[in-house]
Structure 1
Amino acid sequence: MSVVKIFPRVEGPQPASSAEPVAEVSAATPKRVSETLVIANSPPVSEPYPFDRAYHAMLARFTGGISPVALSLAWLDWGAHLAAAPQRQMEIFRNVLRDSGQLLEAAVHATSQKPWSVIEPQGRDRRFKDRQWETAPFNLLAQAFLLTERWWRDATTGVRGVSHANEAIVEFSMRQMLDMLSPSNFAATNPQVLEKAFQSGGENYVFGWQNWCSDLMRLFSAKPADDDQFVVGKTVAASPGKVVYRNDLMELIQYHPTTAQVRPEPILIVPAWIMKYYILDLSPQNSLVKYLTGQGFTVFAISWRNPDANDRDVAFDDYRKLGVMAALDMVGQIVPGRKVHALGYCLGGTLLSIAAAAMARDGDSRLATITLLAAQTDFTEAGELTLFINESQVAFLEDMMWQRGYLDTTQMAGAFQLLRSNELIWSRLSHDYLMGDGSPPSDLMAWNADATRLPYRMHSEYLRKLFLDNDLAEGRYRVEGGSVSLSDIHTPMFVVGTLADHVAPWRSVYKIHYQVDADVTFLLTSGGHNAGVVAPPDESWHSYQVKTKAADAPYVGADEWLKLAPHVEGSWWPEWTQWLAARSGAPCGPPSIGGGGIDGLPDAPGDYVYT
């Protein structure tokens, strides 16, 4: 079995650890050490069935990383049960006849009937929202397509005997195929494109061709979108600060104070390593880091290194030890004797919850509060992302990662885009390539294009232990040789869910209420997984609901909470900083940057953000 050994690389003062030391340091070693991961195989691991794994890895290139076996089994389950349900077949056939008759009647009386007389687009479907789609024959085309979608949704769901997971896969994959065939995706059947072509003399097609060529060149050059306008370290990730600690998995950034006095308890930000850390430090007007320093907080943030094939055996727990725990050690050295407000975002929040549970188990009381942003701790209802997570699919992904040593940047990004394909893929292609308009530059989209890789072992453990087996929620997750339980956490928590989150659905995030034994302030904000979190106060269109549950208060279900929690217009950021201030000490002078002895380490945003 692979064993991870840590060997020190001298770069300055070593963070004092309150628990197990991260590395062994001799008495002659200077204060700061940057650890290097060295993977020692003892004895060498023999991978089972290497030919089969290589074959699966090759197959993944043609399937986009989707297991054909998992897909086939789901369709076989649905098809076999539907074939054995003649009454259900008759019901589906009657629905087809009913819808066809209504559409035919609408076509005959197209001039006298109101648009959308048979079926209307659902609330989040914006493909047919413009007035041009209300005129014949385009209105009939759109209604025919919507009826087809409804018919297939009816046909692929509610078949008795089909497993819930297979039903979801069939419904999802059929929806993906239908999204490709939407009349809004073709120039000849999209009235907006035809009108634009008539007005511009076909110039929109020229601009669309230029947009396509530009995207293609950017794809092959691996340059992030809007790379000229949103430059890391200049226009994004630009909050002034200093890297105060570094190891082979992360750099710890301490940001310069912007107020004369600060709260004594610092904030430590633990971002996900699926993407770069600066989602919380975008352009200055959208930067949560800048907002926090402006509110009088000392802010530290972890910047993860982008792994490569040499990091294939880095484990999930290495991110806890060399990430969260090493950062807490260093923060404790820079701000001694002070508890820490810890914030975890997405997968970083899951990691933080594991670290907090282990700390509580071991009597480590360094956390003043815990904030989780769109982070799941129970994965039984993790939304459509779980469609990609079953034994067949995980084994297929493992074989794909086994060959490279990591999950490629495009794989995870593609999975997220499929969750909202008609918004993130087809509508964008229609807008950019058929209309020729191009997407307006956005710091959030530029960050989204700056993707990262995921180590083979870490991602396999994450998928199996958390998604597939749900070990954390069910008390089987082990840290340092012992099980951890979220119920050991008694630290006050502020948990944020986003209303339109397809990655971490808010009802899944809400489950933290009955997992921990702590006061939980739950806030549900408008927007999605990223746009809901990046909610600066000067943007007036944000809104949220918030309600606190005391540790000894009775549990309230998610739907009941939705009815009880008061609505508030505006950004949730001030609500959170007020909550933090109420649990912080009186303002005092800011700590020194790094506590001294940080020679050789770069200014923010550091070096790892460029990897």
Structure 2
Amino acid sequence: MTTTSTSASPAAAGLPQQIHTQVERAIQRGLKGLDYLGSPAPAVGTTPKTVLHRRGTLTLQHYHPTAAEVYRMPILIVMATSNKAFMLDLAPGRSLIEFLLGRGYDVYVMDWNAPSKRESGLRLEDYTLDFIPDCLRRVQQHAGVDDVTLIGYCMGGVLSTIYAALHADGPVKNLVGLATPIDFSKIGFKDVMDRRYFDVDKLVDSVGLIPPKFIETGFELLRPAGRMANAVRLWDNMWNDEYVQSYRLMERWGAETLPMAGEYFRQLTKELFWKNGLCESTLSVGGRPVRLDAIRASLLSVVAAHDHLVPPECARPLVDRIGSSDKQELVLPGGHVSLVAGPNAVKRLWPRLDQWLESRST
């Protein structure tokens, strides 16, 4: 009589371990979920810095150099007025600013505070003909140099680009736009801002300052299921400390969205969203035409391939329209935020940005 022995398949043999892993993760989700609810928000923006100047909504910060040798040409970073700069300095090892300092760059940042009621009348003129030029002069004086690299993220890139177009003979030798919208007919917000349904005059005249909730709701309308999907992913990864830390850092940045000056918002809506003035060369600031072909600074335009807010077709005209002979477009995988912050940015954007700056910062 022949006896046939049977043994568990490799898949079946691995099943108890899979079950054990899932049970352990479920237990960790419960325990760590309680910690998540009861613990304070993580510290952000911890890279040492000095406030050089503060005026109302504006703060100019200088980050302490860390490299033994520092490039002579400093960097001035311009953030969007609705966002805090700590997105570029989330935590040690997750900070673009920390990375740039380590690579030998002298870094200054135009950070923003919530504008007061009396600042609700700020306009493009104030940002591009006053705040940016004033900060550039202070950077030149503090660093003891003439030439500066100007880096703008998102709407900070728009402000930087407008400044460069209006000051072709100014101190900006290098201009870097990170996810910078130019063709506003292609921007993700275009349907939310449709002039047929959106009464911007009524909104601005009623509130003065555009509340953060309005801005946040606009983002959420682009991805209606985004908040729920993020919550599900968070719970599914609650056992993973690294994932939770990254989530909390970005959650804090999103929660600290700043209000916008009403007149500035009105101007952006009418001149950029409705008239597409930057791309169509119809925009005037302070009575002066803003022409991209007037810009002569070396340009790097970094585009996120999967950006739902500033899609590639929205950002690409910057390279096409600019008058510089030294210009480059860099398209990288990632979204609007992951382009500059997070583990993928560390591997993709940061080294490529350093490579471009290196030969243009002496």
Q: Which TM-score tier does this pair reach, normalised by the shorter chain?
A: 0.7 to 0.9
For the pair 1:273 / 2:81, whether they are aligned, the reply is yes
| Closer/same/farther in 2, CA of residues 436 and 326 from structure 1, 3 Å limit | closer
Q: 1:574 aligns with which of 344, 351, 357?
A: 351
Q: Which residue of 2 aligns with 1:380?
A: 185
Q: 2:227 aligns with which of 411, 425, 428?
A: 425
Question: What is the CA distance between 1:312 and its match in structure 2?
Answer: 2.0
Checking the alignment, whether the CA contact within 8 Å between 1:349 and 1:373 is kept in structure 2 is yes
Checking the alignment, whether the CA contact within 8 Å between 2:150 and 2:172 is kept in structure 1 is yes
Question: What is the CA distance between 1:393 and its match in structure 2?
Answer: 3.5
Q: Which residue of 1 aligns with 2:4?
A: none
Checking the alignment, whether the CA contact within 8 Å between 1:267 and 1:342 is kept in structure 2 is yes
Q: Normalising to structure 2: TM-score of the pair?
A: 0.84
Superposed CA deviations along residues 69-117 of structure 1, whole A, max 9, x for unmatched, are xxxxxxxxxxxxxxxxxxxxxxxxxxxxxxxxxxxxxxxxxxxxxxxxx
| Closer/same/farther in 2, CA of residues 207 and 281 from structure 1, 3 Å limit | closer
- CA separation in 2, counterparts of 1:462 and 1:572? 28
Q: Which residue of 2 aligns with 1:296?
A: 104
5 Å-filtered alignment, 1:102-251, equals 228-231=40-43, 236-251=44-59
Question: What is the CA distance between 1:255 and its match in structure 2?
Answer: 1.1
Residue identity matched to 1:426: M
Unaligned runs of 5+ residues in structure 1 are 1-195, 215-225, 544-569, 586-611
Identity level (%): 26
Unaligned runs of 5+ residues in structure 2 are 1-21
- CA separation in 2, counterparts of 1:227 and 1:357? 47
Q: Which residue of 1 aligns with 2:16?
A: none
Q: Which residue of 1 aligns with 2:332?
A: 525
Superposed CA deviations along residues 364-407 of structure 1, whole A, max 9, x for unmatched, are 2x111000000112212113x11112223431x43233222111
| Closer/same/farther in 2, CA of residues 227 and 472 from structure 1, 3 Å limit | farther
- CA separation in 2, counterparts of 1:241 and 1:252? 10
Question: What is the CA distance between 1:492 and its match in structure 2?
Answer: 0.9
Question: What is the CA distance between 1:337 and its match in structure 2?
Answer: 3.6
- CA separation in 1, counterparts of 2:165 and 2:198? 27
Q: 1:448 aligns with which of 251, 254, 260?
A: 254
Checking the alignment, whether the CA contact within 8 Å between 2:234 and 2:244 is kept in structure 1 is no
Checking the alignment, whether the CA contact within 8 Å between 2:271 and 2:283 is kept in structure 1 is yes
5 Å-filtered alignment, 1:357-368, equals 357-360=165-168, 363-364=169-170, 366-368=171-173
Question: Helix, strand or coil for the counterpart of 2:191?
Answer: helix
Q: 1:472 aligns with which of 265, 275, 278?
A: 278
- CA separation in 1, counterparts of 2:299 and 2:196? 36
Q: Which residue of 1 aligns with 2:198?
A: 394
Residue identity matched to 1:368: K
Residue identity matched to 1:380: S
Q: Which residue of 1 aligns with 2:9?
A: none
Question: What is the CA distance between 1:200 and its match in structure 2?
Answer: 7.6
| Closer/same/farther in 2, CA of residues 436 and 401 from structure 1, 3 Å limit | farther
Superposed CA deviations along residues 396-426 of structure 1, whole A, max 9, x for unmatched, are x43233222111111111221221223x223
Give the paired residue count: 333
For the pair 1:282 / 2:90, whether they are aligned, the reply is yes
Indicate the structure (1 or 2) with the bigger Cα radius of gyration.
Answer: 1
Checking the alignment, whether the CA contact within 8 Å between 1:265 and 1:340 is kept in structure 2 is yes
Residue identity matched to 2:349: W
Checking the alignment, whether the CA contact within 8 Å between 2:49 and 2:61 is kept in structure 1 is yes
- CA separation in 2, counterparts of 1:542 and 1:207? 27
| Closer/same/farther in 2, CA of residues 542 and 573 from structure 1, 3 Å limit | closer
Question: What is the CA distance between 1:253 and its match in structure 2?
Answer: 0.6
- CA separation in 2, counterparts of 1:322 and 1:288? 27
Question: What is the CA distance between 1:527 and its match in structure 2?
Answer: 1.4
Question: Helix, strand or coil for the counterpart of 2:280?
Answer: coil
- CA separation in 2, counterparts of 1:431 and 1:370? 37
Q: Which residue of 1 aligns with 2:6?
A: none
- CA separation in 2, counterparts of 1:200 and 1:472? 52
| Closer/same/farther in 2, CA of residues 211 and 459 from structure 1, 3 Å limit | farther
| Closer/same/farther in 2, CA of residues 447 and 200 from structure 1, 3 Å limit | closer
Checking the alignment, whether the CA contact within 8 Å between 1:309 and 1:404 is kept in structure 2 is no
Question: Helix, strand or coil for the counterpart of 2:51?
Answer: strand
Superposed CA deviations along residues 103-154 of structure 1, whole A, max 9, x for unmatched, are xxxxxxxxxxxxxxxxxxxxxxxxxxxxxxxxxxxxxxxxxxxxxxxxxxxx
Question: What is the CA distance between 1:309 and its match in structure 2?
Answer: 2.8
Residue identity matched to 1:390: D
- CA separation in 1, counterparts of 2:334 and 2:55? 35
Superposed CA deviations along residues 483-537 of structure 1, whole A, max 9, x for unmatched, are 12000112110111111111111221111122111122111111110112125xx
For the pair 1:415 / 2:218, whether they are aligned, the reply is yes
Checking the alignment, whether the CA contact within 8 Å between 1:251 and 1:302 is kept in structure 2 is yes
| Closer/same/farther in 2, CA of residues 211 and 371 from structure 1, 3 Å limit | same
- CA separation in 1, counterparts of 2:237 and 2:181? 39
- CA separation in 2, counterparts of 1:462 and 1:454? 11
For the pair 1:404 / 2:207, whether they are aligned, the reply is yes
Checking the alignment, whether the CA contact within 8 Å between 1:353 and 1:377 is kept in structure 2 is no
Question: What is the CA distance between 1:348 and its match in structure 2?
Answer: 0.3
**Structure 1 runs, 4 residues or longer, greater than 3 Å off:** 428-433, 435-439
Question: Helix, strand or coil for the counterpart of 1:403?
Answer: helix
Superposed CA deviations along residues 530-561 of structure 1, whole A, max 9, x for unmatched, are 112125xxx4x569xxxxxxxxxxxxxxxxxx
Residue identity matched to 1:470: N
Q: Which residue of 2 aligns with 1:152?
A: none
Checking the alignment, whether the CA contact within 8 Å between 2:301 and 2:319 is kept in structure 1 is no
Question: What is the CA distance between 1:480 and its match in structure 2?
Answer: 2.9
Residue identity matched to 1:289: I
Question: What is the CA distance between 1:287 and its match in structure 2?
Answer: 0.7
Question: Helix, strand or coil for the counterpart of 1:575?
Answer: helix
Q: 1:329 aligns with which of 126, 137, 144?
A: 137
Checking the alignment, whether the CA contact within 8 Å between 1:394 and 1:463 is kept in structure 2 is no
